[in-house]
Amino acid sequence: MSEFALTHAWLIPLLPALAFVVIGFFTRLDKSISAKIAISMISVSFLLALGVLAAVISGPITMDNPLIQKVLWAKMGTLELSMGVLVDPMTAMMLIVVTTVALLVQIYSVGYMEHDPGAGRFFAFLSLFASSMLGLVISVNFLQMYAFWELVGVCSYLLIGFYYYKISAREAAKKAFITTRIGDFGMLLGILLLQITFGTLDFMELKELVPAYIWISGTGFMTVVGLLLFIGPIGKSGQFPLHVWLPDAMEGPTPVSALIHAATMVVAGVYLVGRAYFIFSALPAVMTVIAWIGGFTAFFAATIAITQRPFKRILAYSTISQLGYMMLALGVGSLTASMFHLMTHAFFKALLFLCAGAVIEAMNEEADIFKMGGLRHRMPTTFKCMAVGVLAIAGVPPFAGFFSKDMILAAAAEVSMPLYLLAAATAFLTAFYMARLLFVAFFGEVREDCPAHETNSYMRMPLVVLAVLAVVSGAWGHFAGFGEWVYFGAVQEEHIDFMIAGSSVLLTLIAFALAYEIYVAKRFSAHLLAQRFGILYTLSYNKYYVDEFYTIVRNTFVDKLGAVLYWFDLHVVDGVVNGLAKGVGCLSCVFTALQNGQAQRYVAVFYCGVIVLVAYSVFCAVRILNLLGGAF
């Protein structure tokens, strides 16, 4: 079974794609059949992914010895493009994460989209989304990865704009697509530079070539390539300064948010950096940039999250923050920590988002957490799952987040103290805002007008499964030796630094206590605090005005430049074209005088030509006579 799964790993992305085609073309209008097709296809993919995982665990496949299947895709001259399947432990882990989350999200969607007439379309897009991400995960070269990368972008556009009749959804979809496109452009340049320099985009071949190249010509050029490549992940994984699309992406249906934030879209950037780690790890300057961008994004997003009011927006900023963690881990050289956190984060973030979906649906689309309260009495199951998710993301042992976050903190502490302090502060803030979210929404008095009720079983079941995963995945990864399994270079030692772990747990508990004091016991007034930290609060509440800054930049530079170019186009380009047309017109006036339609004029011109030819012949009379050869 596992051997079959390993050799047929290409089926994993293909089956959801098939579901997309079938639903899109045939069963789009029938909700229940569409849902069945989508779920059964992703289930088979999930089983195959399990098989792959089993084969990888038991078999000889390691990070340094992956299984590769390739077929020729296109051939242009000497340029051969292939596509195929690359299976190593990192891929196997990603396959499991993506298929699990996608499967659970699709089951959840059955309940969530119960009353939506567009559910068939929704399942088609979800399947395509999962398919694109799975294809990205198993890519063997940069080009294949780039193709799926763009497919993921297209799917996110389609899904964020799923409620296309809402203006905000359309705008958010455009924003997500365009912002990530900016990153993709840099990445495309990086890929092209790689192709030009090395003549190949294959990961395995590049892995051999890049160190030798750096050995010979130094890191200068490759640093440029690495930075360009990293622009792609900045856009896709919502790193500062291209994070602005991610909070708006919640305009889509909540299951989509869960999928985007947890498993499919944003982790693509992290995964790309991990896959191309042989390039980045050889370039210290790029590594520093990655680490600092990651660390700064983590802290920056966390400070925004503590003041936001909409449920999903808090979670969105927490996603940005956690992605910053992953980038930080990559930047300080720990692929293991990054991938570990990616996995645990995928589970608990999906859990949190699905809980958010349940809550918001129960509240009749009311998203402001301060209009909720006491939900734990109305929605006990959801509350328990939510609590598990909060504890996991806050890093309380023995929940999943504790192990992965501890690994990142330890890795950061080894490399740079400022980065460690930044990460620890972020951990504190994370615990605080998640506790705030939990306390404000679920504790306190039940409001009289609160319509909340427990959700249906389609939506509860995935929550429970994810909650279990959020509890066990960290401990399982830690004790089963995730570090011996997914690593780069040397195998990473598994150990818990008690100083670091202890201090972060302490910080978390302090944050919880603080949040409890403020929002449940009301010992401090939240309003007073907000006034006390007036400027900081305003800055944070308005997300540091990044969007406004972009608007100003766009208005001043893009619009003005557009106006200038418009003028240029109108007067210079069009002027040249019109001038040419007029010139041709004038010239043709001259020639129409010859073409006046009178046969006699034509005869005259014809005989002029005859005269010229005869005169030429006479001038060359000797040659003509030779031709005649004295016949006369």
Partner 1 sequence: MIDIFSLSVMDIVNWSLHVGLAHFLLLAAVLFSIGLYGLLTKKGIISTLMCVELMLNAANINLVAFNHYRPFQDFSGQLMAIFSVAVAASEVAVGIALAFRIYREHGSIHVDELNNMKG
Partner 2 sequence: MNEAVNLIHGVVNWGMGTAADLDMGTLIDASVFYALMWVSVLSALGVVLCKNVVHSALLLTASFIGVGCLYIYMSSPFIGAVQFLVYGGAVAILIVMALMLTRRDDMSESNPSRNIWCRVGAAVISGLFFCCMALVTLLTPFKNVTVDLGDSVTGLADMMLTKYIIPFEVAAVLLLIAMIGALVLAKGAHES
Positions in the binding site for partner 2 (CB under 8 A) = 600, 604, 607-608, 610-611, 614-615, 617-618, 621-622, 625, 628, 632
> Closer to partner 2 at the Cβ: 40 or 626?
626
> Closer to partner 2 at the Cβ: 76 or 618?
618
Residue pair 244/235 in contact by the 8 Å Cβ criterion: no
- Shortest reach from residue 166's CB to partner 1, in Å: 59
What's the CA gap between 228 and 233, in Å, rounded? 10
| Chosen from partner 2, partner 1, none, partner binding at 521 (C-beta under 5 to 8 Å by type) | none
| Chosen from partner 1, partner 2, none, partner binding at 611 (C-beta under 5 to 8 Å by type) | partner 2
Residue pair 6/59 in contact by the 8 Å Cβ criterion: yes
> Closer to partner 1 at the Cβ: 65 or 600?
600
| Chosen from partner 2, partner 1, none, partner binding at 617 (C-beta under 5 to 8 Å by type) | partner 2
| Chosen from partner 1, partner 2, none, partner binding at 561 (C-beta under 5 to 8 Å by type) | none
Q: What is the DSSP string of 219-262?
A: SHHHHHHHHHHHHHHHHHTT-TTSTTHHHHGGGS-HHHHHIIII
| Chosen from partner 1, partner 2, none, partner binding at 595 (C-beta under 5 to 8 Å by type) | partner 1
> Closer to partner 2 at the Cβ: 77 or 597?
597
- Shortest reach from residue 622's CB to partner 2, in Å: 6
Q: Please give the structure tokens belonging to residue 119.
A: 């559910």
- Of 39, 45, 57, nearest to 93 by C-alpha is 57
DSSP state letter for 264: S
> Closer to partner 1 at the Cβ: 599 or 621?
599
> Closer to partner 2 at the Cβ: 561 or 611?
611
- Shortest reach from residue 594's CB to partner 2, in Å: 13
What's the CA gap between 132 and 145, in Å, rounded? 10
- Shortest reach from residue 619's CB to partner 2, in Å: 10
> Closer to partner 1 at the Cβ: 536 or 625?
625
Q: Collect all residues with Cβ–Cβ distance below 8 Å to 625 and sequence separation of at least 6.
A: none
Q: Please give the structure tokens belonging to residue 247.
A: 């909070």
| Chosen from partner 2, partner 1, none, partner binding at 592 (C-beta under 5 to 8 Å by type) | partner 1
- Shortest reach from residue 602's CB to partner 1, in Å: 8
- Of 422, 423, 408, nearest to 497 by C-alpha is 408
> Closer to partner 2 at the Cβ: 58 or 598?
598
- Shortest reach from residue 578's CB to partner 1, in Å: 23
| Chosen from partner 1, partner 2, none, partner binding at 615 (C-beta under 5 to 8 Å by type) | partner 2
| Chosen from partner 2, partner 1, none, partner binding at 596 (C-beta under 5 to 8 Å by type) | partner 1
- Shortest reach from residue 618's CB to partner 2, in Å: 5
Chain-centroid distance, C-alpha 30: 30
- Shortest reach from residue 588's CB to partner 2, in Å: 23
- Of 422, 419, 394, 344, nearest to 507 by C-alpha is 394
> Closer to partner 2 at the Cβ: 528 or 593?
593
- Shortest reach from residue 590's CB to partner 2, in Å: 18
Note the residues at the interface with partner 1 (CB under 8 A): 592, 595-600, 603-604, 607, 632
CA atoms within 13 A on the CB side of 463: 28
| Chosen from partner 2, partner 1, none, partner binding at 618 (C-beta under 5 to 8 Å by type) | partner 2
- Shortest reach from residue 597's CB to partner 1, in Å: 3
Q: What is the DSSP string of 297-343?
A: HHHHHHHHHTT--BHHHHHHHHHHHHHHHHHHHHHTT-HHHHHHHHH
Amino acid at 403: F
> Closer to partner 2 at the Cβ: 590 or 618?
618
- 453-457: which pairs have CB atoms within 8 A and are 24 or more residues apart? 453/362, 453/378, 453/379, 454/362, 454/378, 454/379, 454/380, 454/381, 454/382, 455/111, 455/358, 455/361, 455/362, 455/379, 455/382, 456/111, 456/114, 457/111
Q: Which helix (H) or strand (E) holds 64?
A: none
| Chosen from partner 1, partner 2, none, partner binding at 597 (C-beta under 5 to 8 Å by type) | partner 1
CA atoms within 13 A on the CB side of 503: 11
